[in-house]
Chain A
Amino acid sequence: MARMKFICDAERCIECNGCVTACKNEHEVPWGVNRRRVVTLNDGVPGEKSISVACMHCSDAPCMAVCPVNCFYRTDEGVVLHDKDVCIGCGYCSYACPFGAPQFPGQGTFGVRGKMDKCTFCAGGPEANGSQAEFEKYGRNRLAEGKLPACAEMCSTKALLAGDGDVVADILRSRVVQRGKGAEVWGWGTAYGSQTAGKPAKEGSAS
């Protein structure tokens, strides 16, 4: 069974924001809501790195743990989704998320803060796959079309990888072996639960 994961290869990300644009366009995300963003680490310092950040679909998702109305669920593919008909827009998930993924539109049913919106790994939501209702609430369901998330498929340098965890980790591993550096994957350990995952091996240790 595939376990869907994101990896952003910071050695390749050129901060073009193509992933952000692809996401906004694919799902017709409203103004003020950014399901994906490009973040620059150590901005202005020589050696700065950029990474593309969205919901990482954590193995043990904090948003899911704090939601008072249980609107979240996890699919068999490991994608964390939510039901907007259940969400009350309280914002607890926003405080719990280590990646700043939950977004709140400025206009909605509950006044200033509407129902939460976030990256769906292009897997839609709990409406009929490919239906108009699903598109309007959650965006396109590319997984049901046999495609991968638009952000990763649109990435010009292939910095952003999305798909089965085994496959994307294998692609990154082959790159690291070839170039001899850049094994760091920011957020990987936080999202998928390993303290050592995504960090370079210590000198002298076998890895």
Chain B
Amino acid sequence: MKRVALTTLCLAGAVAMLTACGERPQTNGGLTGAKRDASPVSGTDAAVFRQGGWKAGDQAAWSQQLKARAQYGMNDHSRTTN
């Protein structure tokens, strides 16, 4: 009985100490020390600099805009005939 209690105590202590090895949440939103940040999908206050072709708040349109921009701007193989 005493051995069981000792084993249980040791296990509980080990679990308690291992909590320090756990991962901290990395997402923004009050879980880290940083302030809450707005997603880039929500657009910018500086509307004059905003690229057309997508609507603020539309996740799919924003992703598509960046993909199209990467293909056009960086993939020169797709812009040549051979």
| Distance in angstroms between the alpha carbons of A86 and B34 in the assembled complex | 7
Shortest 8 CB-CB contacts between residues of A and residues of B: A130-B44, A83-B34, A130-B46, A70-B33, A146-B51, A73-B28, A143-B40, A130-B45
Q: Determine whether the beta carbon of B40 is less than 8 Å from that of A123.
A: yes
Q: Determine whether the beta carbon of A148 is less than 8 Å from that of B73.
A: yes
Q: A51 an interface residue at 8 Å Cβ cutoff?
A: no
- Find A146's partner among B33, B45, B53, B75 (CB 8 Å cutoff): B53
Chain A residues whose CB sits within 8 angstroms of the CB of B74 once the complex forms? 152-153, 158, 161, 163, 168, 171
Please give the distance in Å from A148's CB to the nearest CB on chain B: 6
List the one stretch of B1-9, B10-18, B64-72 in contact with chain A: B64-72
- Find B66's partner among A86, A148, A175, A178 (CB 8 Å cutoff): A148
Knowing A71-B32, A130-B46, A178-B77, the reply to whether A141 touches B26 (Cβ < 8 A) is no
The total of chain A residues at the interface (CB under 8 A) is 48
Q: When each residue 31-52 of chain B gets 1 if its CB lies under 8 Å from chain A and 0 otherwise, what string results?
A: 1111111111111111101111
Binding site for B on A (CB under 8 A): 1-2, 61, 64-65, 69-77, 81-83, 85-86, 123, 125-131, 140-141, 143-148, 152-153, 158, 161-164, 167-168, 171, 174-175, 178
- Nearest A residue to B35 via CB reads A126
Chain A residues whose CB sits within 8 angstroms of the CB of B26 once the complex forms? 61, 64, 72-74
- Nearest A residue to B36 via CB reads A126
| Distance in angstroms between the alpha carbons of A140 and B70 in the assembled complex | 19
- Find A83's partner among B35, B46, B67, B73 (CB 8 Å cutoff): B35
Besides A146-B53, A146-B62, A146-B65, 18 more A-B contacts (Cβ < 8 Å) are: A73-B31, A75-B28, A76-B39, A81-B34, A86-B34, A126-B34, A126-B35, A129-B40, A146-B66, A148-B73, A158-B76, A161-B74, A163-B66, A163-B69, A163-B74, A164-B70, A171-B70, A171-B71
Chain B residues whose CB sits within 8 angstroms of the CB of A85 once the complex forms? 35
Q: Determine whether the beta carbon of B37 is less than 8 Å from that of A126.
A: yes
Q: Determine whether the beta carbon of A83 is less than 8 Å from that of B33.
A: yes
| Distance in angstroms between the alpha carbons of A158 and B36 in the assembled complex | 34
Please give the distance in Å from B81's CB to the nearest CB on chain A: 13
| Distance in angstroms between the alpha carbons of A70 and B66 in the assembled complex | 30
